[in-house]
């Protein structure tokens, strides 16, 4: 139990991550299972809450597309049904985010990622440069349509700023 609590102190973890950590520490199967059950009953081990936390952290610090977030969740052991619940929860465009400062839709996340990538610089005019930026966003898990929309919106914002100035 002590190993599990110390492991969870740094950040939330998935059941799979904690199970691997306990097995690596040499705990017996019965002890591992009892620890997992007890920590889950205490509310310290919840894969659905972890998925929400992970998605929020991505939105806050390094916006990613839904596909990449889901791939990351699969890699760290979140069960498929929990990922599907996460997807359904985030697919609703009418949902009210707990923190209004976080992007709510895939398009908003792509725009935030693009703005952070550009760091205040204007969107380049050259097609090759725009293509590189588009590939950057696609590597972040955004689909092609979302990427095109984000680049178009950034280009329209740039034109609007030039006309106003």
Assigned domain for 101 exists = no
**pLDDT for position 15:** 96
If asked whether residues 64 and 37 sit together in one domain, one would say: no
Assigned domain for 35 exists = yes
The sign of the torsion formed by the CA atoms of 42, 44, 47, 49 equals: positive
Residue 38, classed as helix, strand or coil, is helix
If asked whether residues 15 and 51 sit together in one domain, one would say: no
Query: Residue 100 pLDDT > 80, yes or no?
Result: no
CA–CA separation, 119 and 79 (whole Å): 36
Of all residues in the chain, what percent carry a pLDDT higher than 70?
87
Q: Which residue has the higher pLDDT, 79 or 94?
A: 79
If asked whether residues 110 and 159 sit together in one domain, one would say: yes
For tokens 């890699």, what's the residue?
75
**pLDDT for position 154:** 86
Q: Which residue has the higher pLDDT, 87 or 156?
A: 87
If asked whether residues 86 and 110 sit together in one domain, one would say: no
CA–CA separation, 141 and 146 (whole Å): 10
As for how many domains the chain has, the answer is: 3
Query: Residue 161 pLDDT > 70, yes or no?
Result: no
Assigned domain for 100 exists = no
Token pair in block for residue 47? 């894969």
Domain with 27, as residue range(s), is: 2-41
Assigned domain for 75 exists = yes
If asked whether residues 128 and 151 sit together in one domain, one would say: yes
If asked whether residues 67 and 37 sit together in one domain, one would say: no
User: How do residues 139-152 score in pLDDT, each as one tens digit?
Assistant: 999 999 999 999 99
Categorize the per-residue pLDDT at 21 as very low, low, confident or very high, splitting at 50, 70 and 90: very high
User: How do residues 103-123 score in pLDDT, each as one tens digit?
Assistant: 678 888 999 999 999 988 888
If asked whether residues 110 and 160 sit together in one domain, one would say: yes
Q: Which CATH number characterizes residue 148's domain?
A: 1.10.10
User: How do residues 50-89 score in pLDDT, each as one tens digit?
Assistant: 999 999 998 888 889 989 999 999 999 999 999 999 888 8
Residues 126-150, mean pLDDT to the nearest whole number = 94
**pLDDT for position 137:** 95
**pLDDT for position 90:** 73
Of all residues in the chain, what percent carry a pLDDT higher than 90?
65
Q: Where among 57, 91, 125 does a domain terminate?
A: 91
If asked whether residues 141 and 110 sit together in one domain, one would say: yes
CA–CA separation, 95 and 106 (whole Å): 13
Please tell me the chain's helix, strand, coil percentages from 3-state DSSP, rounded to the nearest 5. 70, 0, 30
């Amino acid at each position: 139990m002590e190993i599990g609590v110390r492991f969870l102190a740094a950040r939330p973890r998935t059941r799979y991550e904690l199970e691997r950590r306990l097995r690596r520490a040499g705990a017996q199967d019965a002890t591992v299972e009892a620890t997992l059950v007890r920590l889950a009953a205490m509310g310290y081990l919840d894969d659905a809450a972890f998925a929400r936390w992970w998605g929020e952290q991505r939105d806050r610090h390094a916006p990613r597309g839904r596909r990449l977030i889901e791939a990351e969740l699969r890699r760290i052991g979140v069960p498929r049904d929990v990922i599907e619940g996460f997807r359904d929860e985030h697919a609703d465009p009418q949902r009210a985010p707990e923190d209004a400062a976080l992007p709510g839709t895939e398009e908003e996340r792509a725009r935030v990622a693009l703005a952070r990538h550009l760091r205040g610089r204007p969107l380049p005019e050259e097609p090759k440069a725009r293509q590189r930026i588009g590939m950057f966003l696609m590597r972040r898990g955004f689909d092609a349509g979302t990427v095109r929309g984000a680049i178009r919106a950034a280009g329209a914002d740039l034109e609007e700023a030039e006309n106003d100035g």
